[in-house]
Chain A
Amino acid sequence: MASTDPTETSGSDRQAARERTYRMLAGIMAALFLGFGALGGLFLWYDSATSWVSHTHKVRTGVADTLEALTEAESAQWAYVLTADRRFIATIADAKTRAVRSLEALDRLTADNRAQQGRLAPLRQQMGIRLEVIDQVVAARRAGAPVAAIRIIRQGRGIAAMEAIRVQLAQIDATERQLETERIDRARTIRVGVIGALALFAVLLAAVVVRTLREIDLDREAEADAAERLRDLLADRTLLIDEVNHRVKNSLQQIASVVRLQSRASPHADTREALEKTLDRIMAVGRVHEQLYRSGEMLGDFDAGLYAETLSRELVASLGREEVTLETQVISAKLDVRQATPLALILNELITNALKYGCPPGRPCKIRVTLGTEEGAYRLSVSDDGQGLPPNFDPRRGKSLGMRAIDALTRQLQGRFIIETAEVGAHFALVFPRSLA
């Protein structure tokens, strides 16, 4: 694979495979239509060839019928001359009709063949003569003169006509027989062609089906490959995130440890307090990381309510004072990851301040932490029931890092920091948008 990005490679592989399948499908459709068209044409050709064979056969039957009818008329004429039985007159009439009809049929059937038509004209003439002679013989005999009738016969005109008829019919038949042979041969050739084409078509179709199946297999393989590569990638990614998470936590621990060691080594209470505050801030940030990422899981949402609850409990508990009670009332609020750290640090400052100034040692006190909504934004508040703020308290002018940090972080959150007036204790609130602009 030339490409370095496995997702890209597998994607284009699959696309190529799918395009091949589409092209193949179009090819199959075209081949099917063409094949069916060609087969249909061949079948029509074969059908026409066989109908020409049967046409020729009809002509030959017409020839035989004509000759048979004339022969029967001739025989009946003899029978009538010998027996004067009137039944033979009817036979003669019937045979004559059949002879004329057969001739008409021959005329119709050979209308497209000039040579055969040329033979029909003298045939018709000779047949007229033959039938006329028979009529004469029958008339003479009916008049009661068998001798006269026999004389007419012996003149030989009828016999000569009959000979001419036989010759003509034999020629017509010979011509048709030759045509029939030719046409049967042609039909046979076409039939072989049809069978051959059918076999070829079947082979092509089978080949196309086999190739298409192979293409589908290739596509499936490409898909399976892609899925496997994605699984591997995902596993790699999870492993990497786990590793980074581990290192982040270890680094936080290193920083926390160094600060705590320094604090323990400091002879001055002020320095120790400053370092402990720093430690709290580091831990507040560490807890954001903890909540955003849990081992084996993807990066999660930051729930400000859950965070406020956990952090306040943690800070109050770490104070280790029974007389401090905590009251929380928070909603679940999923925040943008970029909002998490500033919010965490503000919350940390407010709660540690409330614990420090609102709950001086030696008297019971209550800290209240709430998170709710206000006009489409979130409102976070921290209050205590201590002595309250000095009358001219201005967070922006103070030297306390905590308040200056809150002011700066509030701007980062695009929110408003509110100091509420209350009869008892200090009340702070932060109103901030649901997401950053």
Chain B
Amino acid sequence: MTMRIMVVEDDALIALDMVGLLEELGHEVVAEAADANTAWSRAETSRPDLALVDIRLARNTDGGKLALRLYDQLGIRSLFISGSITEDFRRDMARVKPVGFLGKPVTRRTLGEALKAT
């Protein structure tokens, strides 16, 4: 099932790789952003089905807060991707029904499996 996805990742090459992986998996990337504020405005315009969210974002913005807002105001769920995901973070995010928490480095398979969960 093809989904319209927004990629929120501050590292340009990782973002490029994620877009490639998502397209290989048959999804459509409708928006990209490196920080939470840009991500928010792009999400309002493009209304993706799901957001792929890195926790630490550019300009010191926080992926977790972004995910809370995306779900609370637009009903968009997030798939988190980060180098370190703590138990506290999982607990704090439980409310917004995250699609999953993927540790870096991400492989084609782990990303595919996580997206199947939606």
Contacts and interface: CB of A to CB of B under 8 A. Distances in A.
B17 A257 contact: yes
Interface in B44-95: 56, 82-87
Contacts of B86: 295-296
24 contacts: A245-B83, A247-B83, A249-B84, A250-B104, A252-B105, A253-B11, A253-B83, A253-B106, A254-B13, A256-B107, A257-B11, A257-B14, A257-B17, A257-B105, A258-B17, A260-B20, A261-B16, A261-B17, A261-B20, A290-B103, A295-B86, A295-B87, A314-B109, A317-B109
Given A246-B83, A296-B86, A258 B107 contact: no
Interface of B: 11, 13-14, 16-18, 20-21, 24, 56, 82-87, 103-109
A158 B21 CA distance: 149
Contacts of A317: 109
Query: How large, as a class, is the contact surface on chain A?
Result: 20 to 34
A242 B109 contact: no
B87 A249 contact: no
Nearest to A280: B107
Contact of B17 (A245, A260, A290): A260
A256 B105 contact: yes
Given A254-B14, A260-B20, A295 B105 contact: no
B13 A296 contact: no
Contacts of B109: 314, 317-318, 320
A290 B104 CA distance: 9
A282 interface: yes
B104 A242 contact: no
A76 interface: no
Contacts, number: 69
Nearest to A315: B109
B21 A260 contact: yes
Greatest chain A CB density within 10 A among B16, B83, B87 is at B83
A252 B108 contact: no
A329 B56 CA distance: 40
Contacts of B84: 242, 245-246, 249, 295
Contacts of B20: 260-261, 264
Contacts of A250: 11, 83, 104
Greatest chain B CB density within 10 A among A250, A282, A286, A317 is at A250
A261 B13 contact: yes
A318 B105 CA distance: 15
Given A249-B103, A250-B104, A253-B11, 8 more contacts: A249-B105, A253-B83, A258-B17, A264-B24, A283-B105, A295-B86, A296-B86, A320-B109
**Which 7 residue pairs spanning A and B have beta carbons closest together?**
A249-B83, A257-B17, A246-B83, A253-B104, A253-B105, A318-B109, A249-B104
Interface in A137-154: none
Nearest to A247: B83
A318 B108 contact: yes
A339 to B, nearest CB: 22
Interface string A231-249: 0000000000010011111
Contacts of B13: 254, 257-258, 261
B85 A283 contact: no
Contacts of A253: 11, 14, 83, 104-106
Given A254-B11, A260-B17, A260-B21, A286 B85 contact: no
B83 A248 contact: yes
Given A245-B83, A246-B84, A318 B107 contact: yes
A290 B14 CA distance: 19
A347 B22 CA distance: 29
A248 B104 CA distance: 9
A254 B81 CA distance: 13
A282 B106 CA distance: 11
A254 B54 CA distance: 13
Nearest to A257: B17
B55 to A, nearest CB: 9
